[in-house]
Amino acid sequence: MTNVLVVEDDDRMRHIMSELFETYDLRLIPAQNTVKAEQILAWDETIKIVVLDGNLTPERKASSTPDTLPLACKLLQEDYTVYAVSNNHHHQHALSNAGCVISTKHEVAKLIAAYLHVKGCSDSWESKSLRQKA
């Protein structure tokens, strides 16, 4: 089972996402905000995939920049795979430009599972190729 950190402040949506994640053998590690997310990542080195709620804004005020954008940029520089879920086009654009994969809350688990499958095939192929060269 792969651990995935999910930064989402809506308990109901986090519960729905957790059920969807289990379908794909993914374990949702919840964080209600970016501060909590950074604390979790500081002690859990098994997490390499993060899903950010791209609609989080400071105190839920109208903003063209999501609260999660600085964390997204930091994680992408540290080689995390970062997905962002948002229905706000400005936030989607900002997070996409940063390098996040944009998805919906109902489809992100499927995208992660596909990514892990392809990565597993790629890792297996690379490993086989290296063994043949040895």
What pLDDT is attached to residue 10?
Answer: 87
What amino acid occupies position 54?
G
* pTM of the model as a whole: 0.84
Question: How many residues are there in the chain?
Answer: 134
Query: In whole angstroms, what is the distance from residue 111 CA to residue 121 CA?
Result: 15
Q: What is the pLDDT of residue 28?
A: 96
Tokens linked to 122: 């790629």
Q: What are the chain's domains?
A: 2-133 (3.40.50.2300)
| pLDDT value for 68 | 86
Those residues with Cβ within 8 angstroms of residue 77's Cβ, 6 or more apart along the chain or in another chain:
none
Residue showing tokens 């995390």: 80
Written as tens digits, the pLDDT of the chain (134 aa) is 899 999 998 899 899 999 999 999 999 999 998 999 999 999 999 999 999 988 776 555 555 567 788 999 999 999 999 999 988 888 899 899 999 999 998 899 999 999 998 888 766 555 555 556 65
What angle do the packed helices 69-77 and 34-43 form, to 10 degrees? 20
